[in-house]
Chains A and B, each alone.
Chain A
Amino acid sequence: MTRVIHKFTRRVPEWQPRVTPVNLSEATPEQLDALKVTPSNTKISAYVLTLAHDVESLSVRSPLFNAIMYDKGGMSREERELGALGASMVNRCIYCAAVHADRHAKLAKDETVTDELFTNGEKANLSPRNRAIFDFARKSAETPPSAGPEEIKALRDAGLDEAEIFDLILSSALFGWANRLMHVLGDPVRRDPVPQKASA
């Protein structure tokens, strides 16, 4: 039995596709290449197998994702995760929010920021720097994006330099993309161990 998760959590759920993922045994050479399938690596997630339906997008998105979230310099990885989380909360992508809240907590060695965000949402009690970062990410994720000069000023006032602000723009924008795949194409679920009962 699986049940769909509707509340924000740091405990990463499973992701269950709403469409049928690519079947590895029927994958084209292009799909196998994009999936980096090798004899020693045949465990591919349902999410990646789903995205393999559009192999050209999948192939370009992975390096872009890694560059935005992990390239050296600029904003810290921990703060990029906060940008990702802000967007994911606006778009109610429970799965992305869980993954990136968990990464934030681990990188920051601190669960209080994400606890506070999941409990109090946009009214969360945050440090001035985290507040400026979260607000920018949240407002940028709205459609149309509603972040304005005030949010940029708040980031500068909180001590972010131009390279850091641009990294925040990138990480929150990237989740405008990721959320529209993860949240639209599947459900975040938990698999409950169901006690076996004799049926009536």
Chain B
Amino acid sequence: MSLSLTTALVASELDTSSELAQAISPRNNIFDLTQDAEEAVLCPKDFGAFPHALRAALAARIARLAGDASLAAHYDMTAGDYADLAQPDASGEAHGLKTVLAFVDLVANTPRDISADHVSALQSARVSDADIVRLCELVAFMAYQLRVISGLRLMQGELA
């Protein structure tokens, strides 16, 4: 049994011939499903108000804010016209996305502090309910993928 070359595997630099890779190979289905999820949140057919390049820029931004330069670089590649948003100091104002970016940063970094007011702020900024759900799925998936990768790095004995 071997592991598929997914984003999580590549970003964690796991040696696929290692004993660790062998030990976790029964979970290869999870690597595949994680990649399907990346496809669903980064490149959905029904992307709503968030085109694929914007989603890639937000993913890169979240990875960068969490200190994962290598995962950020993976998403930078497809950020296109939104590449500037992948830098944590960008406010989003130039793209009319200030409220969206503030929400993304908060959900990504301190979800415990989110209240109903933050969701209302998006609604007041004319973000539709469907788009609010789409945005949460993207940010939430990134939180997961980042932690799978950081865990795999730790298991290989690297510093966090």
Residues on A lying within 8 angstroms of B by beta carbon are: 18-20, 50-51, 53-57, 59-61, 63-64, 67-68, 71, 73-74, 90-93, 140-141, 143-149, 151-152, 161-163, 165-167, 169-170, 172-174, 176-181, 183-185, 187
CA distance A91 to B141 in the complex (A): 15
User: A53-B129, A53-B134, A152-B154 are known contacts. Are A71 and B27 too (CB-CB below 8 A)?
Assistant: yes
User: A166-B27, A181-B137 are known contacts. Are A174 and B112 too (CB-CB below 8 A)?
Assistant: no
Minimum CB distance partner of B46 in chain A: A56
Residues on B lying within 8 angstroms of A by beta carbon are: 19-20, 23-24, 26-27, 29-30, 33-34, 36-37, 39-41, 44-46, 48, 65-68, 107-112, 114, 116, 118-120, 123, 129-130, 132-134, 136-137, 139-141, 143-148, 150-152, 154-155, 157, 159-160
Enumerate 23 A-B pairs (CB-CB under 8 Å) in ascending A order: A53-B129, A53-B130, A56-B46, A57-B40, A57-B41, A57-B44, A61-B37, A64-B34, A140-B151, A143-B108, A143-B143, A144-B68, A145-B146, A146-B160, A162-B24, A162-B155, A166-B24, A169-B151, A180-B107, A180-B139, A183-B112, A184-B111, A185-B132
User: Does the CB pair A63–B112 fall under 8 Å?
Assistant: no
Minimum CB distance partner of A169 in chain B: B151
User: Does the CB pair B141–A161 fall under 8 Å?
Assistant: no
Minimum CB distance partner of A22 in chain B: B130
Minimum CB distance partner of B116 in chain A: A18
User: Does the CB pair B44–A54 fall under 8 Å?
Assistant: yes
Interfacial chain A residues near B34, Cβ < 8 Å: 64
Nearest 3 interchain pairs by C-beta: A169-B151, A173-B147, A180-B140
Interfacial chain B residues near A176, Cβ < 8 Å: 140, 143-144, 146-147
CA distance A173 to B150 in the complex (A): 10
Interfacial chain B residues near A63, Cβ < 8 Å: 33
User: A19-B119, A166-B24 are known contacts. Are A59 and B40 too (CB-CB below 8 A)?
Assistant: yes
Interfacial chain B residues near A173, Cβ < 8 Å: 143-148, 151
Interfacial chain B residues near A167, Cβ < 8 Å: 27
User: Does the CB pair A185–B23 fall under 8 Å?
Assistant: no
Interfacial chain A residues near B146, Cβ < 8 Å: 145, 173, 176
CB distance from A102 to the nearest CB of B (A): 21
User: A91-B111, A144-B67, A184-B119 are known contacts. Are A64 and B155 too (CB-CB below 8 A)?
Assistant: no
Minimum CB distance partner of A87 in chain B: B147
Interfacial chain B residues near A74, Cβ < 8 Å: 26-27
CB distance from A163 to the nearest CB of B (A): 5
CB distance from A49 to the nearest CB of B (A): 10
User: Which residue of A67, A143, A145 is within 8 Å of B160 (Cβ)?
Assistant: A145
Minimum CB distance partner of B25 in chain A: A163
User: A169-B151, A173-B151, A179-B111 are known contacts. Are A57 and B26 too (CB-CB below 8 A)?
Assistant: no
CA distance A78 to B57 in the complex (A): 38
CB distance from B72 to the nearest CB of A (A): 12
Q: Which of B139, B146, B154, B155 has the most CB of A within 10 A?
A: B154
User: Does the CB pair A166–B67 fall under 8 Å?
Assistant: no
Q: Which of B46, B111, B134, B150 has the most CB of A within 10 A?
A: B111
